[in-house]
Amino acid sequence: MARYKQTFHVDAPLSAVWQVHDDPIALKELTPPPARVEIVRIDQPLHVGAELIFKIKLLGPLGATWHAIYDEFNPYQPGSDVCNFVDRSLSSPFRHWIHRHTFRDAGDGTSTVTDDAEFWLFGGPLGHVLTWLLAWPAMVFMFTYRRGATRRMLKRLTDSSGAKVTTTP
């Protein structure tokens, strides 16, 4: 099984970080081009057991449908210093996919975002090789893109709310 984990700092309060990630529609902006996301169905409000079905479209008819369930869902509460959720694929291009999202208050109106994804394409030696040759580089690209997209989304959100927020590299 492969695993990709990143933690990064954002100059935004935990409440804003949660607000951005609590909305599955944000997946559209968090997905790097040329892929496009089309939401098919969302159980809202989100909760443990909620499901999300979306299509990832690449070029023309090429793409895949992803069906995910929320196994954990601990929303932001005023005064809390951590919130999180875990999504797991029920069906997707991956045989195994679990993505843990953890958001922590880092003090002074800043937060940290941790993405921790476990994945493999399929079993056997070929699946192992393809996971590391294809899926692993795709995860690095996708999560690097998401780091920047998250910061852009938070900047827009906090700028529109009147809060002064800057992003750091």
Task: Report the number of distinct structural domains present in the chain.
Answer: 1
Given a cut of 70, the residues of the chain with pLDDT beneath it are 161-169
User: What is the pTM assigned to this prediction?
Assistant: 0.90
Domain residues for the domain of 86 are: 2-160
Helices (H), 8-123: 14-21, 27-30
Would 168 be classed as within a structural domain?
A: no
pLDDT tens for each residue of 33-49: 989 999 999 999 999 99
Would 111 be classed as within a structural domain?
A: yes
Q: What does the pLDDT read at residue 162? A: 53
Would 90 be classed as within a structural domain?
A: yes
Measured between alpha carbons, how far is 46 from 51 in angstroms, rounded to an integer?
8
DSSP codes of every residue in 33-46: TT-EEEEEEE-SS-
Single out the residue of 73, 76, 78 nearest to residue 103, CA to CA. Answer: 76
CATH of the domain at 119: 3.30.530.20
Would 166 be classed as within a structural domain?
A: no
Q: What does the pLDDT read at residue 158? A: 85
Would 128 be classed as within a structural domain?
A: yes
